[in-house]
Structure 1
Amino acid sequence: MAQKKILMIVGDYVEDYEAMVPFQILTMVGHTVHTVCPGKEAGDSVKTAIHDFEGDQTYSEKPGHNFGVNTDFSTVSPGDYDGLVLPGGRAPEYLRLDQRLLDIVREFADTGKPIASICHGQQILVAAGVLKGKLCTAYPAVKPDIVAAGAIWGEVNETFSNAFVDNNLVTAAAWPGHPEWMRKFLEVLGSTIEP
């Protein structure tokens, strides 16, 4: 399998599993993952939050781990990457205010490079204006934003374990969807795992 170079955009209070698990999966299959955060440099870290589904009206939130930033955001050039990963959590709510970040996302979308976005990561896609006409899912509380952006809503299953693909875009609702979300992203990347 040819090694790919993936960009992952994170920020403080990114969802723990949605950053750590994709980073580990993509690294395990031989890809290089550059993690970046506006305002942070290589060697810094972001705090994560663990979101869980415990029978409340919405997810609960607990402190997570520190997640390493290994590349300077200021040096990122989308042309150097084969794909983009946007984890969820609370970070996308404020990351979507960063104009350079939105320009980077638009460049990935405009060039048709694979984009994997999960949970609240789709708030960044909405702010970047790249969802019109796309089949997309997200954490259900983000549905009004997705629909208002002109996307076609992909219905979340009972276990939050499904994912949707629309050309270069792979989306899932939450971390229980990691197996399907990452499998589909690897397929869109053209990656194969040898038995």
Structure 2
Amino acid sequence: MIFNKDSGDLTSNSQEGDQMTGPEYEGKKILLVIAQEQFRDEECFVPKQVFESAGAKVTVAAESENTAKGALGGTIKPDIRISEARIDDYDAIVISGGGGSRKYLWDNHYLRGLVKEADSRKKVISAICISPVVLARAGVLKGKESTVFNSPDTVTELEKYGAVYQDRDVVVSGRVVTGRDPKSAEAFGKAVLKALKKA
């Protein structure tokens, strides 16, 4: 999938037959968490399209239900507040990246609680770009291989909480999926679906 920042449209760059659909994804419920401002557009819209195309139901959560604004100008109206989300209602939690993650997600105690609860209930847990820091701070990356957008503080944060950093597009460690950057958004989304299939 390619996100066009000017039109807000998605176009597929997948090979024929590379689509992930099937009854195993029908009815799966995914909580997609984004920053209220400066979420990275591709890391929200591309995985969302991957999930919905496969038949999964996506609920978008942010700090408030006001329209959230992406770094490239995309907008989306969240379905619920992060504080209202209940992990038992979902099969997976996916945390989108972007610069706004530092302000809105890294230290959001509701989100951290959701991640910990998802881990204890053996749900699929995933994050992309700089948002794997949320997973690290929640303690779910300890001893696990994972990736993150490589900036001065992100790799340090992961390693501080016991993660084993890998400089790869997407890293899957059991039920935990991490993605590196906007270019890996489609592969990240597909890896989340594969993890859901195994869960």
Which AA in structure 2 matches 1:24?
Q
Verify: 1:154 aligned to 2:166, yes or no.
yes
Which AA in structure 1 matches 2:190?
R
Among 77, 86, 97, the residue aligned to 1:88: 97
* Secondary structure in 2 matching 1:34: strand
Verify: 1:121 aligned to 2:134, yes or no.
no
Which AA in structure 2 matches 1:48?
G
Cα RMSD (Å) = 1.5
Which AA in structure 2 matches 1:138?
V
Matches of 1:129 and 1:119, distance apart in 2: 18
Verify: 1:190 aligned to 2:197, yes or no.
yes
CA contact (8 A) 2:46 2:186 kept: no
Matches of 1:166 and 1:113, distance apart in 2: 13
**1:106 alignment counterpart:** 116
**2:16 alignment counterpart:** none
Question: Is there any run of 5+ residues in structure 1 with no aligned partner, and where?
Answer: 51-63, 157-161
How does the TM-score come out when normalised to structure 1? 0.81
Identity of aligned residues (%): 27
How many residue pairs align between the two structures?
Answer: 170
**1:53 alignment counterpart:** none
**1:30 alignment counterpart:** 55
Question: Is there any run of 5+ residues in structure 2 with no aligned partner, and where?
Answer: 1-22
Verify: 1:8 aligned to 2:28, yes or no.
no
CA contact (8 A) 2:83 2:110 kept: no
How does the TM-score come out when normalised to structure 2? 0.80
* Secondary structure in 1 matching 2:143: coil
Post-superposition offset of 1:74:
3.7
Among 69, 72, 87, the residue aligned to 1:47: 69
